[in-house]
Amino acid sequence: MTHLRKIMLEELQRRHYSEATTRYYIRAVERFAQHFHCSPDRLGTRHIREYQAQLFTVQKLSPGSVTNHLCALRFFYIQTLKRPWSITDTPYPKKTHRLPTIPSQEEVAQLIDAACTPFHRTILMTLYATGVRDAELTRLKVSDIDSRRMVIHIQGGKGRQDRDVMLSPVLLDELRSHWRRLPKKSSTWLFPGNRWHTGARPIDTKTPRHACQYAARRAGIKKRVYPHLLRHCFATHLLEAGADLHTIQILLGHHDLKETARYLHLSQRHLHATASPLDTLVLKGRSQQEE
C-alpha cells in the first residue's frame, strides 16, 4: 500500500487537490483496504458495493459522506490504478439537498468587523467579495491580483478551470494594507502560511474555517458560519442586487446553470417579487360565509 499511496499522493498533488481533500482521499482508501485486510489493488467492484453497504448500515454515514468515500475510491481506481469505473455497478447514493440559511448583508458586516486578527479580516473580506472556494483562496498568488483590470485570476479551480472574478476597490485597499502588514513579503503567495505568515507555503483550509468560526462567535451570530457560506452569500446578495444568473454562473465557475439556479430559492428579492396564487382568488368575505 505504501507504493500505491505514493502514486495516489502524486496524482492528487499534480491535479491541485487541496491538502484537506488529499488527506481525506488517502485515508478513505486506507480504511477500505483495512476493512478487507487486503491491498486495495486486489479488490474489485463486489468489494466496493459491500463496503458501501457497510458504510450505510454499520457506520450510519449520510449519503453525502458515502458519496465522498466513493469519490476517493473512484479517483484511486481510475487515476492511480488506471482501471475503468462503472457508475452502473457502483451507483452514488442520492443526496438530500438542503438550502443553507443565508446571513443578511448586515450580519456579514458584523462577521467581518468581529474578525480576531487583521489577517482573518482580510480572509473574510476576500471570501465574501469574490465568492471563491476556500481551497481557491488558499492558493491565491500575488500575481493573481490584477489592479489594472480590477480582476482576480483564479487558477486551477474546481475541474482545473481558470476564471476571473471582480476585484472590489474596497478589497483592493484591504489587500494593500494586508501586504504592508506582512512581516516578510512572499514572492508567491498572497496568504503565506505558518503562525507568523512568513512560510514558504500558503495557508491551509483550516485557516479560513477558523476565521469564520471565531468571528461568528465574537459577533454573536448563532447561524453556522463556514467559508462556503460566504460563497453562498456572495451569489445570493449579487442576485438580490440585480445581477443575472449567467453572470453569477461565470463568477462562481459553475459548469451547469442548474447549480446557479438554486440561488433563486435563497434570494429574498425573487421570493417577494412573486405573488402567491391565493392573492388572485376572489373569495367571499367571512361575514358572507357566516350568513
- Known catalytic residue at 231: yes
- Known catalytic residue at 133: yes
Partners of 163 in beta bridges: 154
Grid cell listed for 285: 368575505
Q: Which candidate in 178, 197, 231, 237 is catalytic?
A: 231
Q: Which candidate in 17, 25, 51, 263 is catalytic?
A: 263
The answer to whether residues 141 and 188 touch, using CB atoms and an 8 Å cutoff, is yes
- Known catalytic residue at 176: no
Cα separation values, 289 from 174, 279, 281, 284, Å: 64, 19, 16, 7
- Known catalytic residue at 95: no
- Known catalytic residue at 254: yes
Compute, in degrees rounded to 10, the torsion defined by CA atoms 107, 111, 114, 115.
Answer: -170
Q: Which candidate in 228, 262, 269, 270 is catalytic?
A: 228
- Known catalytic residue at 5: no
Give every CB contact of residue 76 below 8 A, 6+ residues apart in sequence.
Answer: 4, 8, 25, 29, 40
Q: Which candidate in 158, 163, 218, 270 is catalytic?
A: 158
* Residue 163, CB-side half-sphere exposure with 13 Å CA sphere: 21
Q: Which candidate in 133, 139, 178, 197 is catalytic?
A: 133
Give the residue numbers annotated as catalytic, written as ranges: 133, 158, 228, 231, 254, 263
